[in-house]
Amino acid sequence: MRALTWLKKRWRRATKWVLLAVVASAIALLVNHFGEEILSDEGDPASGIHVVAESSLVNPPHHDTAAGEYVCLVNEAEEEVSLTSWKLYDSAGRINEFGQFSLEPGGSVRVHPGGRPRRNTSLDVYGDSDIPRWTNSGDTIFLRNAADERVETQSYPSRQDGDIGDNCGPQRRRDWDCTGFLSHAQAQAFFLTHRPARDPFELDADGDGLACEA
């Protein structure tokens, strides 16, 4: 009888300590993550939208700015995809949220943490950060849809000054010729981002500063 009583006391004491440990862990979790958004991990990877880390510029040359940094997104679906209210995060929190924006099939866009009041174009979307946000020593890019579901995650290693594997622009997966643009205005905007003096894709055939005139 005494042994049974002793076992019951030990059981109650052990249960109490387990409950206290669970409560303490829950409190620590809330304290450490107070103010953070709780994010779902159920997304739609079949949306066709992908982060292209090797074509993203996280450490602009000469002077790292929020307007100079960008993450490259590409639409590999066969139809236009609305990115309205989609978001980009790094490991520390949210960096960009799209306003009204759609990406055409085969197209890509550079998403800058800062740069406003510059106007968004079909090639560039700007945020309102005053300081660089992407970590030069390596980080993780999280893309989430309007329902805050994760669409894709990509990590990148340490980036040297101006290091970028490939350019980000319209029809990134194709050769960059005039047939890859939806309009003359889009071709001209892309041409001007590379400056007329640097025309590696020969979009300005006659050298007058205007791309894809024919």
Kindly write down the DSSP assignment for every residue of 116-137, as one continuous string: TTSPP-SSEEEE--SS--S-TT
The total domain count for the chain is: 2
Same domain, 50 and 99: yes
Note the helical H segments in the chain.
2-32, 184-193
Asked if residue 109 belongs to a domain, the reply is yes
Please tell me whether the overall predicted TM-score, pTM, comes out greater than 0.75 for this model: no
| Residue 82: its H or E element | strand 81-82
Same domain, 63 and 106: yes
Q: CB neighbours of 82 closer than 8 A, spacing ≥ 6?
A: 101, 102
Asked if residue 166 belongs to a domain, the reply is no
Domain range for 204 = 175-214
Q: Is the pLDDT of residue 186 over 90?
A: no
pLDDT band at 206 (very low <50, low <70, confident <90, very high): confident
For 32-64, write each residue's pLDDT tens digit: 333 333 333 444 555 789 888 888 999 998 888
Same domain, 52 and 152: yes
Q: Cα 143 to chain center, whole Å? A: 5
Average pLDDT, the chain: 76
Q: For position 202, what pLDDT does the model report? A: 76
Lowest mean pLDDT among 10-24, 58-72, 188-202: 10-24
